[in-house]
Chain A
Amino acid sequence: ILNVEQSPQSLHVQEGDSTNFTCSFPSSNFYALHWYRWETAKSPEALFVMTLNGDEKKKGRISATLNTKEGYSYLYIKGSQPEDSATYLCAPHTGNQFYFGTGTSLTVIP
């Protein structure tokens, strides 16, 4: 069992604010890390697949970085919009399977 920690657990921001979340994981036996966005009443949707130390990925206003040596990944949202409201999950793959964090729940207030 892998200890994956996501912080904060929940976050409320005003529309237009920028925000970021953290995913921490043990750095040994690291292979890849996935970020997913999970809207209420829907299923998780993939945002990024990251594999290399120093990786940076971007999709519109959302970006992510990866530090495999120290075992963390950051997800950034620039200029949050109400439609960004969702739970953001990270899932590092170490050893032989993925381990999902409990997520950061983001609410963007119009």
Chain B
Amino acid sequence: DAGITQSPRYKITETGRQVTLMCHQTWSHSYMFWYRQDLGHGLRLIYYSAAADITDKGEVPDGYVVSRSKTENFPLTLESATRSQTSVYFCASSESGGRMQPQHFGDGTRLSIL
């Protein structure tokens, strides 16, 4: 089915482990985004990508790594997970034109770090 999918939907891991959240979109959208959602905060941008091999930091990038070798995939890696990274993570994509185009969100990944 066309759309944007995130995997896994739920993940529990331990402090210090590496974990990768996957995001895949079938629209060939240029832009992709990773957000985290925490109580008391709006969605906060972690990283975004304007095209394959182009990524840039958002508001809260520390502790995260992204890559975009293919247009359709935008994985987010926590290299050494910490409890403060327990959150719900949303991936989104938008067409070229960036801020002039609406973002389409995935269903989210709920990540718990023990």
Contacts and interface: CB of A to CB of B under 8 A. Distances in A.
Contact of B42 (A45, A46, A96, A102): A102
A4 B42 contact: yes
Contacts of B56: 96
Interface in B24-71: 35, 40-45, 48, 56, 58-59
Interface residues of A, number: 24
Interface in A10-61: 31-32, 34, 36, 42-46, 49, 51
B107 A100 contact: no
Chain B contact residues, majority secondary structure:
loop
B90 interface: yes
B42 A103 contact: yes
A23 to B, nearest CB: 11
B42 A89 contact: yes
B59 A97 contact: yes
Contact of A99 (B42, B101, B106): B42
A101 B58 contact: no
A46 B106 contact: no
Interface of A: 1, 4, 31-32, 34, 36, 42-46, 49, 51, 89, 91, 93, 96-103
The 4 closest A-B pairs by CB, nearest first: A46-B102, A100-B42, A43-B105, A93-B99
